[in-house]
Amino acid sequence: MVDVAPDRSATLVHVGVVRSDPRDPIESRLATIAAGLRAVLDEHRPSVVAVERVFAQQNMHTVMGTAQASGVALLVAGERGLPAATHTPTEVKAAITGYGAADKRQVQAMVARILRLDEVPRPADAADALALALCHAWRGDAAGAASGPLTPAQRAWADAERLARG
Rule CB under 8 A: which residues touch a second copy?
23-31, 34, 49, 54-56, 60, 63-64, 67-72, 74-75, 77-79, 82-84, 86, 145, 149-150, 152
Known active-site residue 128: no
User: How near is the Cβ of 115 to a second copy at its closest, in Å?
Assistant: 26
Q: Which is nearer to a second copy, 82 or 124 (CB)?
A: 82
- Is 125 annotated to bind a ligand? Reply is yes
Cβ of 18: how many Cβ atoms within 10 Å?
Answer: 16
Note if 125 is an active site residue. Answer: yes
Out of 79, 125, 141, 159, the active site residue is 125
* Contact by Cβ (8 Å): 43, 36: no
Total H helices, total E strands in the chain: 6, 4
CA distances, 5 to each of 100, 132, 134, 140, 144 (Å) = 24, 16, 11, 12, 19
Nearer to a second copy among residue 34 and residue 126 (C-beta): 34
Between 16 and 83, whose beta carbon lies closer to a second copy?
Answer: 83
Strand segments, DSSP code E, in the chain are 2-4, 10-12, 49-52, 84-87
Pairwise CA distance, residues 46 & 41, whole Å? 6
We find the least distance from the C-beta atom of residue 31 to a second copy, in angstroms, to be 4
Catalytic-labelled residue, pool 52, 103, 159, 161: 52
Closest distance of CB 161 from a second copy, Å: 15
Tell me whether residue 27 is annotated as binding. no
Q: Which residues are annotated as a binding site for Mg(2+)?
A: 52, 125
Residues serving a catalytic function are: 52, 125
Residue ranges of the annotated binding site are 52, 125
